[in-house]
Amino acid sequence: MAAQIPKVKLNNGVEVPIIGDGSYAPPKPEDQARVKDWILTALKNGYRHIDTAFDYGTEKAVGEAIKASGIPREEIFVTTKLPWNHLGRVRESFETSLANLGTGYIDLYLMHWPQAIVYEEGNSAPKNPDGTYKTTDSVTFNDAWSEMEKLLDTGKVRAIGVSNFSIKNLEKLFKTAKVIPAMNQVELHPYLAQNGLREYCAKKGIVLTAYTPSGYSVVRSDPLIVSLAEKYKVTPTQVIFAWHLSRGTVIVPKSENNERQKENIAVPALSEEDIDKIWALDRGQRICNKANEKTGQVYGWTLEQLGWEDYHPKL
Give strand pairing partners of 8.
16
Cβ atoms of 20 and 252 closer than 8 Å: yes
Q: Which secondary structure element, helix H or strand E, spans residue 32, and what is its range?
A: helix 29-32
CA distance 180 to 284: 26
Tell me which amino acid residue 206 is.
I
CA distance 237 to 286: 18
β-pair type (21-22, 49-51): parallel
Select from 74, 50, 49 the least CA-distant residue to 60.
Answer: 50
Sign of CA dihedral 183, 187, 189, 194: negative
**How many angstroms separate the Cα of 211 from the Cα of each of 92, 170, 177?**
26, 18, 25
**How many angstroms separate the Cα of 13 from the Cα of each of 93, 124, 182, 235?**
26, 34, 10, 34
Collapsed DSSP state (helix, strand, coil) of residue 43: helix
Rg (CA), the chain: 19
Collapsed DSSP state (helix, strand, coil) of residue 82: strand
- Please identify which of the residues 47, 56, 191, 200 carries the catalytic annotation: 56
CA distance 180 to 3: 29
How far does CA 86 lie from the centroid of its chain?
A: 18
Known catalytic membership, residue 56: yes
Select from 208, 215, 232, 235 the least CA-distant residue to 281.
Answer: 215
- Mind telling me the catalytic residues? 56
